[in-house]
């Protein structure tokens, strides 16, 4: 029965995948990225990056060996998901012999977008595959692994929207995350490979988050890094330490760590911090030069008790003066966000419906006259946003709509929205539908 159900899910996923790939291949390429590291006044239309995330995903439930395809008792906890979307509670699994019990899950979804004030190269409307991904993992024993394969987009407010082909090709490739995990004890493990970041309160891929688009604070964070990470748990406190390549630079000069205190089942508090121990002049879409030379710090609190999930967090970043990368004086950002979700319970007439909301404010320091880098919408600019994402999930299928608004202030002409970069606001509407199999 499980085999037959899994086949049916793949049929639905295949339809979505086919529609999305057709739309993605028909879409025009997005804006090109300037790779010079010398000082200039060209606006960074990418708003300096689109990134991710949060504390180390919790270990997946142990799975006993089996001679036949096992049925996991609960959903996989990797990829991590904040909700309201929930993973398949009965993932497909099989016995791979020497590779152990293996689970195969995935996400397939299509996304439509309309917006005002697009920058050159972006569009007022588009449709694309937002996820066409498969996750293969082994979650028990001293040797574990996770491999994520497929296509994706990385929508974030206040930045251009890149079609599926460009996002997949120019960010992290068709295998965006893949790592091995050595777990000699229940409270200690080491991971190596293409890892999810420890930074921030939002994950990389849209199905993992409350909202379709990631937020203004996320735009200062990295998403995927190549490196090694050690995890250790002592009672209610979990520690992680990672040595990696930061913003996917392939230069292993970044060090960061996190400490997460589980106060009780409903309340957690996290501290995350790190930065580049050296200097790098690499500048690409996935590796924005200023952010790849920054320090970054988070304080993240989460309350999670049905029907509410509420996560306020604070973030500070600092880019030191470095004339070699065009930062002739230092600049910083500081900001805060509140992410909240209310989910109606199973006994409600609105069972399956959730109402996520995110509000944010971020400000930057520095003067253009002094040669400070632009970290938001010009040196010394600030911005606020609000995002609302009503969501409905039935079994493994979901649909969600989203409205978002960004207002920028104290901007530099040419660094904001619209064909000339002078419009100070942007409104978007989105609709996403898909399956988590």
Report pLDDT digits (tens) over 421-435: 999 999 999 999 999
Q: Find where tokens 């911090």 sit.
A: 273
pLDDT for the residue 73: 53
The answer to whether the beta carbons of residues 92 and 103 sit under 8 Å apart is yes
What are the tens digits of pLDDT across the range 199-252? 999 999 999 999 999 999 999 999 999 999 999 999 999 999 999 999 999 999
pLDDT at 18 over 80: no
Q: Which of 9-13, 186-190, 384-388 is predicted least confidently? A: 9-13
Peptide bond into 84 cis (omega under 30): yes
Peptide bond into 79 cis (omega under 30): yes
User: CATH no. for residue 414?
Assistant: 2.40.160.10
DSSP 39-71: ------TTTT----B-SPPPPPPP----SS---
Structural domain span for residue 67: 2-436
- How far apart are the C-alpha atoms of 176 and 376, rounded to whole Å? 26
- Secondary structure class of 166 (helix, strand, coil): helix
What's the pTM? 0.85
Q: Checking DSSP bridges between strand 177-185 and strand 353-364, what pairing results, if any? A: unpaired
| Pair of tokens at residue 141 | 């024993």
What are the tens digits of pLDDT across the range 154-176? 999 999 999 999 999 999 999 99
pLDDT for the residue 34: 34
Of the candidates 315, 265, 357, 278, the residue with the CA atom closest to the CA atom of residue 54: 315
- How far apart are the C-alpha atoms of 417 and 426, rounded to whole Å? 7
Residue 265 DSSP code: T
Handedness of CA 154, 160, 163, 166 (dihedral sign): negative
**Phi and psi dihedrals of 244, rounded to 5?**
-155, -170
pLDDT for the residue 97: 86
- How far apart are the C-alpha atoms of 231 and 233, rounded to whole Å? 7
Q: Find where tokens 């938001």 sit.
A: 376
- How far apart are the C-alpha atoms of 158 and 296, rounded to whole Å? 20
* 28 Cα distance to chain centroid: 24
- How far apart are the C-alpha atoms of 195 and 54, rounded to whole Å? 12
- How far apart are the C-alpha atoms of 307 and 294, rounded to whole Å? 37
Handedness of CA 156, 160, 162, 168 (dihedral sign): negative
Q: Checking DSSP bridges between strand 382-388 and strand 308-319, what pairing results, if any? A: unpaired
The answer to whether the beta carbons of residues 337 and 201 sit under 8 Å apart is yes
> Quick one: pLDDT band at residue 180, thresholds 50, 70, 90?
very high
* Count of alpha carbons within 13 angstroms of residue 113, beta-carbon side: 31
Distances (CA, A) of 317 to 125, 234, 362, 375: 33, 29, 11, 10
- How far apart are the C-alpha atoms of 111 and 121, rounded to whole Å? 19
| Pair of tokens at residue 255 | 């060090």
* Number of domains the chain contains: 1
- Secondary structure class of 15 (helix, strand, coil): helix
The answer to whether the beta carbons of residues 203 and 195 sit under 8 Å apart is no
Write the burial class of residue 261 (CB in 10 Å: 0-12 exposed, 13-18 middle, 19+ buried). middle
- How far apart are the C-alpha atoms of 216 and 81, rounded to whole Å? 19
Strands (E), 197-345: 224-234, 237-244, 254-264, 267-276, 295-305, 308-319, 331-343
> Quick one: pLDDT band at residue 117, thresholds 50, 70, 90?
very high
The CB density around residue 243, as the number of other CB atoms within 10 Å, is 17
The CB density around residue 245, as the number of other CB atoms within 10 Å, is 22
What are the tens digits of pLDDT across the range 401-413? 999 999 999 999 9
- For the residues 30-42, what does the mean pLDDT come to? 35
| Pair of tokens at residue 73 | 């008792």
Give the total residue count for the chain: 437
What are the tens digits of pLDDT across the range 51-91? 333 343 444 434 333 334 444 458 999 999 999 999 999 99
| Pair of tokens at residue 209 | 């988050």
């Amino acid at each position: 029965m499980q085999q037959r159900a899994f086949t049916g899910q793949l049929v639905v996923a295949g339809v979505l995948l086919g529609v999305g790939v057709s739309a993605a291949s028909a879409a025009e390429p997005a804006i090109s990225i300037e790779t010079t590291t010398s000082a200039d006044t060209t606006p960074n239309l990418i708003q300096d990056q689109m990134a991710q995330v949060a504390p180390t995903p919790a270990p997946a439930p142990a799975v006993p060996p089996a001679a036949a395809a096992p049925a996991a008792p609960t959903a996989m906890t990797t990829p991590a998901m904040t909700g309201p979307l929930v993973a398949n509670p009965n993932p497909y699994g099989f016995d791979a012999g020497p590779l152990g019990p293996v689970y195969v899950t995935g996400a397939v979804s299509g996304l439509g977008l309309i917006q005002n004030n697009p920058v050159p190269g972006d569009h007022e409307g588009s449709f694309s595959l937002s996820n066409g991904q498969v996750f293969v993992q082994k979650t028990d024993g001293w040797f574990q692994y996770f491999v994520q394969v497929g296509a994706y987009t990385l929508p974030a407010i206040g930045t251009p929207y890149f079609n599926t082909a460009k996002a997949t090709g120019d960010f992290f490739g068709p295998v965006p995350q893949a790592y091995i995990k050595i777990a000699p004890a229940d409270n200690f493990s080491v991971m190596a490979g293409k890892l999810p970041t420890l930074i921030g309160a939002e994950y990389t891929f849209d199905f993992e988050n409350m909202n379709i688009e990631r937020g203004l604070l996320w735009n200062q964070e990295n998403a995927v890094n190549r490196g090694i990470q050690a995890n250790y748990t002592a009672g209610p406190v979990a520690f992680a330490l990672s040595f990696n390549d930061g913003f996917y630079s392939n230069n292993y000069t970044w060090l960061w760590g996190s400490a997460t205190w589980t106060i009780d089942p409903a309340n957690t508090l996290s501290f995350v911090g790190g930065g580049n121990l050296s200097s790098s002049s690499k500048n690409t879409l996935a590796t924005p030069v200023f952010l790849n030379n920054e320090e970054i710090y988070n304080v993240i609190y989460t309350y999670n008790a049905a029907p509410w999930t509420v996560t306020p967090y604070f973030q500070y970043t600092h880019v030191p003066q470095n004339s070699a990368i065009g930062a002739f004086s230092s600049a910083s950002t500081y900001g805060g966000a509140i992410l909240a979700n209310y989910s109606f319970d199973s006994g409600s007439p609105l069972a399956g419906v959730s109402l996520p909301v995110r509000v944010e404010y971020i400000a930057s320091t520095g003067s253009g006259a002094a040669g400070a880098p632009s970290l938001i919408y010009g040196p010394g600019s600030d911005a606020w946003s609000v995002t609302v994402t009503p969501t409905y999930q039935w079994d493994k299928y979901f649909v969600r709509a989203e409205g978002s608004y960004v207002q920028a202030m104290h901007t530099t002409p040419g660094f904001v929205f619209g064909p000339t970069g002078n419009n100070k606001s942007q409104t978007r509407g989105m609709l996403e539908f898909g399956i988590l199999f």
